[in-house]
Amino acid sequence: MLQIKTLGIYDSGLGGFSIYHELKTTFPDLDMVLFADQLNAPYGNKSKEEIQTIAFEAMFRFQQAGIDSVLIACNTVSAVALDFLRESFPDMNLWGIIDITVSQVPIGASVGIVATQATVDSGAYQKVLQSSFTIQKALVDLVGLIENLEDIDTIKQYLVNDDVYNQDYLILGCTHYPLVSDVFETVSRAIILDSRLPIRQFVEKLYLPGEGKTSVFTSGEPAHLTNQIKSLFNYDEEVLEWNSLF
C-alpha cells in the first residue's frame, strides 16, 4: 500500500497555504513541503501551454528534492495539466484536487461551480459531474483580490448575482476561494463545498506518521507571503525562497 512519507503541496499562492495549514493542524506528525508559486500567479488567466510548462518545472524541483508524493492543490493545474504531469513523471504520485472535491456531491444534485478562467474553459468539473446539472462561472479577478488582501466589501461587490449561486451545491473550484467563504455565504443559497474536508480524509488514509517536519517555500518574496499569512491566519510561519530547498 502506498504511504506518503513527505507530502508535497503545490499551488500558486495563499490557497495552498490554506490546505497546508489545515493538514498541519489536523496531523501534527505529517511531514510536508508547500510550494507557493507566487512569482507566476495567478495561473487561471494563462494558456494551457504556459501552465503545463510552469507545473513541469515545479514537479521537477519536487522530484530533485526527493519528494515523490505531491498534492496539486491548484484547481487550474489539476484541470489542464494533471495528465501531462503524470505522463512526464511516471515514478511520482501526483493527485489532483478536482476528483477529491467532487466526491462530496450527491448524484443528481444541481451544482454551481466558480473557478478560474482556465478551469472553466477546461470543463474538468463538468466531466467529473456527469450525472449532475452544472453551471459554471469564471471569477477571473478573485485570486488577485485575495492575494492583495482586498477588503470584504470589495470582494462582495465582485461576486455579483448570478444563477451559479442558486443551485443545490456551490463548488469553490480554486483553493484561494475558501479564504473568503464567508462572503460566498452572503451571496449564495447553496450548500458550499471546498476541498479541505475531503483532502483531510484522503491524506489520513495514506500518510506515514513522521516527525511533523514542515516547510513553506515561495518563488516570490518570502516576507510578502509571511505578511499575508499573518494577516489572514494570524499565524507566524517562516517562509523560505524556493531555490533554497536544494
Residues annotated as part of the active site: 74, 174
Closest by CA to 118, choosing from 177, 63, 173, is: 173
* Widest distance between CA atoms in the chain: 48
Q: Which residue type occupies 14?
A: L
CB 115 within 8 A of CB 92: no
Q: Specify the DSSP class assigned to residue 185.
A: H
Give 34's strand partners.
9, 216
Write down the number of H helices and E strands in the chain.
12, 10
Q: Retrieve residue 215's grid coordinates.
A: 516547510
Stated as kind and residue range, the H or E segment containing 110 is: strand 110-115
